[in-house]
Amino acid sequence: MSIQVKTSPPYYMLEEIHSQPEWVDRLFQQSDKDPVLQKVLQKLKNKKRIFFTGCGTSHYTAQAGAALARHLLQEANPVQSVPAAELYHHWELSTEDALLAVTHAGETHMVLELLKKARKCGALTVVLTGFPDSQAARNASYVLSTGYALEKSWAHTISFTLGAALLLVVSAHLAESRGYTVPWETIRSGPEQIQQVLDQSARIQEQAKAFLSKEKWLVAGTGTSLATAHETALKVVETSYIPAIPLDLEQVLHGFLAGCDPKTLLLVSAPFASQQERVQELIRAAEKISLSLLFLAPSGLLHQTPRLPVPECHPLLVPLVHTTATHLFVYYRTVCKGMNPDLIRRDQAPYAAARKEYR
Ligand X SMILES: O=P(O)(O)OC[C@H]1O[C@](O)(CO)[C@@H](O)[C@@H]1O
Residues that bind ligand X (CB under 6 A): 54-58, 103-105, 108, 111, 156
* Smaller CB separation from ligand X, 102 or 204: 102
Helix H, strand E, coil C: the string for 174-213 is HHHHCCCCCCHHHHHCHHHHHHHHHCCHHHHHHHHHHCCC
Task: Supply the minimum distance, in Å, between the C-beta of residue 259 and ligand X.
Answer: 24
In the beta sheet, which residues pair with residue 219? 246, 267
Closest CB to ligand X among residues 99, 291: 99
What is the DSSP secondary structure assignment for residue 157, as one 8-state letter? -
Q: Which residue is nearest to ligand X (CB)?
A: 56
**Three-state DSSP class for residue 255:** coil
Q: Between 156 and 307, whose beta carbon lies closer to ligand X? A: 156
CB-wise, 81 or 108, nearer to ligand X? 108
Q: Which is nearer to ligand X, 54 or 341 (CB)?
A: 54
Given a contact cutoff of 8 angstroms between Cβ atoms, the answer to whether 334 and 240 are in contact is yes
CA dist 170 and 41 (Å) reads 7
Shortest Cβ distance from residue 286 to ligand X (Å)?
30
Residue 268 half-sphere exposure toward CB, CA atoms < 13 A: 29
| Minimum distance, C-beta of residue 165 to ligand X, in the bound complex (Å) | 15
Which is nearer to ligand X, 146 or 269 (by Cβ)? 146
Give the nearest distance from C-beta 134 to ligand X in angstroms. Answer: 8
What is the smallest separation between the CB atom of 73 and ligand X, expressed in angstroms? 25
Closest by CA position to 297, among listed 286, 308, 305: 308
- CA separation for the pair 267, 310 (Å, rounded): 13
Q: How far is the CB of 245 from ligand X (least distance, A)?
A: 17
CA distance 52 to 119: 15
